[in-house]
Amino acid sequence: MTTPLTLVPGRRPDGTHHLAVSGEIDMSNIDALADALSTTPGPLVLDLTDVEYLDSAGLSVLFAHADRLELIATPLLAPVLRVSGLSDLTTVHGLD
């Protein structure tokens, strides 16, 4: 059974948009993530610390917005972010 995707938008104290994501990011729910990323203007801090699973469909969405994303992740996601090359395109905090 998959964990539903939850998206919680907000702003950091400096005014930068922040989106906290929890659950699983996969083909069944990438439209919601893509919409949230597309409708949030400017730089965006994407907090993936509560993401339990990220598949290639989810990576594709993140790659499409990599030029304006800053990611917060856990070591659980480190292999997929490194092997895919996404960690080379954007700042990723929390991989170690």
Instruction: Concatenate the DSSP letters of all residues of 3-36 into one string.
Output: PPPEEEEEE-TTS-EEEEEEEEESTTTHHHHHHH
Q: How confident is the model at residue 7 (pLDDT cuts 50, 70, 90)?
A: very high
Domain ranges (residues) in the chain: 5-93
pTM: 0.93
Instruction: Give pLDDT, residue 1.
Output: 58
The CATH number fitting domain 5-93, selected from 3.40.630.190, 3.40.30.10, 3.30.390.10, 3.30.750.24: 3.30.750.24
Question: At residue 22, does pLDDT exceed 90?
Answer: yes
User: What confidence tens digit (pLDDT) does each residue in 53-81 have?
Assistant: 999 999 999 999 999 999 999 999 999 99
Q: Which residue shows structure tokens 């480190």?
A: 78
